[in-house]
Amino acid sequence: MRGVLVKLLAGAAMMATMPAAAQTRADQKPFFDLYKELVETNTVVGVGSCTKASAQLAQRLKAAGYADSDITLFSTPDHPNDGGLVAVLKGSEARDKPMLLMGHLDVVEAKRADWQRDPFTLVEENGFYYGRGTVDDKAQAAIWADAMIRFRQQGYKPKRTIKLALTCGEETTYAFNGAQWLAQNKPELIAAEFALNEGGGGRLDAQGKRQVLAVQVGEKAAQNYTMLATNPGGHSSAPPPENAIYDLATALKAVQGHEFPVKFTDTTRAFFAATAKSLGGETGTAITRLLANPNDTAADTIVSRDKTLHSTLRTTCVATLLNAGHAENALPQRATANINCRIFPGESVDGTLATLKQLAGSKVTVTANQPFRPTAIPPTLDPKIIEPMRTVAAKHFPGVPLLPLMSTGATDGVFLEAIGIPVYGAPGTFLEPDNNGTHGLNERIRVSSLYASRDYLFDLVKAYAG
């Protein structure tokens, strides 16, 4: 999941309208071909093949001049279709630590019967590209791969080594995860001073005007839990008061009504301070009060009317799956629910489990589901990282403010942060207020947004690499 670009400041100042042009330069055609091939290669875990997509990108890199020794294709015997790719453009200064460009090739499943268009055919309509993965995360994966290709073709000699890692398994909790595998088995291959990942971006208004740029600095940890209610069951013609479904429903209502406490990181504090100034009015005042006193429940109530601001303030847990009963004329013997939690930095899987157990009561058991993802380690608001983003943005997107944010979703960045690599969600890809159908139907990206992002991120990588 992308990490997904959150709904940003609804009241931010409107900026320049996005340019309408699509492929107006000769260098954009090869990028489009790469992007199209990537989108049209099905990489749904268990259905398509990230290994195939990786091999296609490797061929393009080799055609641009990369040697076999510069490219590592990897997979495991147990997961032959879930492979990935690492490519390296060596820098001239050994004392400058490498930088890493990372992204994921897998996509969320898309059922053809539900979509207006074939989700695995790139379609251009009314200034948008439609298709599964057009945003999450094949836009950024294609931009990174295209940048590496252009660097080689142009004879660019960076001072800092640039690494590219494109992996599989980000969208599916139980899948083989390429980023995790690299971190645990080939850490030297991706070793870097910092990484640029998904999770940042930018927001457009309904008319396509740029409102704000966002750099992701930190994220929540995603963790699933199972609630289970059991009962001896029996014939439904003589029902007793005790019922596994009712017991589970009571526990779920308790989860629904529970609010985890308000907390702040350095990133979210900076985000909310800027948001308060931008929004003003009742919400802006309430944010200011909440920054001064996180226990101000009246202020929390006002700010939390916005679901994204609400989620940025705290851990959240929500029921996402239900399963109960075994026959229509029998009392249920088992009732289960999956609870998906997004845990605030600094809080733990065990601590959240303890809260859920307390809410569930004595009739329902709660367990934490495998696999356990690492707890996110928020990187610092390092000026060496943030200021180049701001400087390059002033050239490409003049007047658009850049804000740090904590993603309420989760990315593969947690696996790299666990081995000491700070990960930042790169800004530059502007999305619509509805998040462009990411993970839903008719995923799309504004054509002009894609090409503007390509130009910005290309220059941003060069600004870091020297």
Give me the pLDDT at residue 410, please: 84
Q: What does the DSSP assignment read for 441-464? A: TT-EEEHHHHHHHHHHHHHHHHHH
Strands in 143-247 per DSSP E: 162-167, 194-197, 201-204, 210-219, 221-230, 234-235
Structure tokens at 37: 């091939």
Give me the pLDDT at residue 115, please: 96
Residues 6+ apart with CB under 8 A from 245: 229, 324, 325, 332, 335
CA distances from 171 to 56, 109, 217, 287, 399 (A): 21, 9, 20, 33, 34
CB atoms < 10 A from the CB of 440, how many? 13
CA distances from 244 to 64, 219, 225, 358, 389 (A): 62, 36, 18, 18, 54
Give me the pLDDT at residue 8, please: 41
Alpha helices in 40-135 (DSSP H): 50-63
At residue 107's C-alpha, the angle toward residues 105 and 112, to 5°, is 135
Using 50 as the pLDDT threshold, list the residues of the chain that sit under it.
1-21
What pTM value is reported for the model? 0.86
CB atoms < 10 A from the CB of 384, how many? 10
Q: How far apart are CA 194 and CA 113, in angstroms?
A: 42
DSSP designation for 268: H
Q: Count Cβ neighbours within 10 Å for each residue of 106-145 and write b for 16 or more, e otherwise.
A: bbbebeeeebeeebbebbeeeebbbbbbbbbbbbbbbbbb
Q: How far apart are CA 258 and CA 52, in angstroms?
A: 45
CB atoms < 10 A from the CB of 458, how many? 20
CA distances from 134 to 112, 196, 324, 436 (A): 16, 19, 37, 9
Instruction: Give the 3-state secondary structure of residue 17.
Output: strand
pLDDT tens-digit map of 343-353: 998 899 999 99
- The answer to whether 163 touches 99, Cβ cutoff 8 Å, is yes
Q: How far apart are CA 12 and CA 296, in angstroms?
A: 25
DSSP bridge partners of 235 = 330
Question: Domains (ranges, CATH) in the chain?
Answer: 28-218+376-465 (3.40.630.10), 221-260+315-374 (3.30.70.360), 262-308 (no CATH)
- Helix 349-360 vs helix 244-257: angle between axes, to the nearest 10 degrees? 120
